Amino acid sequence: MKRIVILISGRGSNMEAMLKAHLPVEFAAVISNEPSAQGLATAQAHGKGIATAVVPHRAFADRAAFDAALAAEIDRHRPDFVVLAGFMRVLTETFVARYSGRMVNIHPSLLPSFPGLHTHQRALEAGVRIHGCTVHFVTPGLDSGPVIIQAAVPVLADDTEDSLAARVLEQEHCIYPQALRWLCDGRVKLGADGTVTVVDATVRRDALISPNLDT
């Protein structure tokens, strides 16, 4: 059974979705850079003996020192995969290389569109009709790693940043556990060219069009 370490900074809603998904994995630890992260209590209450730890980034002189301490805590739990679930720290290239091909993240946009922060507001400002979320491998470039799975939602005429974010979050809670299941089943193949293949995955061939065509 694969061992998973989850990194969080806040409420950990994607972490909670994974814990509730009955995945055939062992959640070895949940680690936060924020001592007050709500997700730590959620993990402790889950009842599966999940270890929790805090590596407070403010206690370190620079990013490299924090990343070294974080890596030491992660490695103590011997994970097969490191899963970022709302972890709000930019990681150094050395740290990313340490877990190359074993660290994944979810981003609230259809990458490569809208990397970085404030994705929902930026989508509204850009006037896009379709928005969504992406699970991807972590690489040194911000939100630029190979894509494993994406989900799309329509942008509605009366959407606010909050309403759009809520609709996207529903899809995040669907696709992140799915991506983790594929990874742990060995169905995700990361090629030397950076492309991802999911073995035996099905693909819908119908289009998502927003607004709808006249009928």
Q: Which residues are catalytic?
A: 107
String of b and e for 150-173 (b: at least 16 CB within 10 Å)?
A: bbebbbeeebeeeebbebbbebbb
Cβ neighbours around 98 below 10 Å, total: 17
Rounded CA Rg of the chain: 18
Q: Pairing mode, if any, of strands 103-107 and 147-154?
A: unpaired
Measure the CA–CA gap between 164 and 93, rounded to whole angstroms: 32
Measure the CA–CA gap between 21 and 11, rounded to whole angstroms: 17
Instruction: Give yes or no for a contact between 17 and 88, defined as CB atoms under 8 angstroms apart.
Output: no
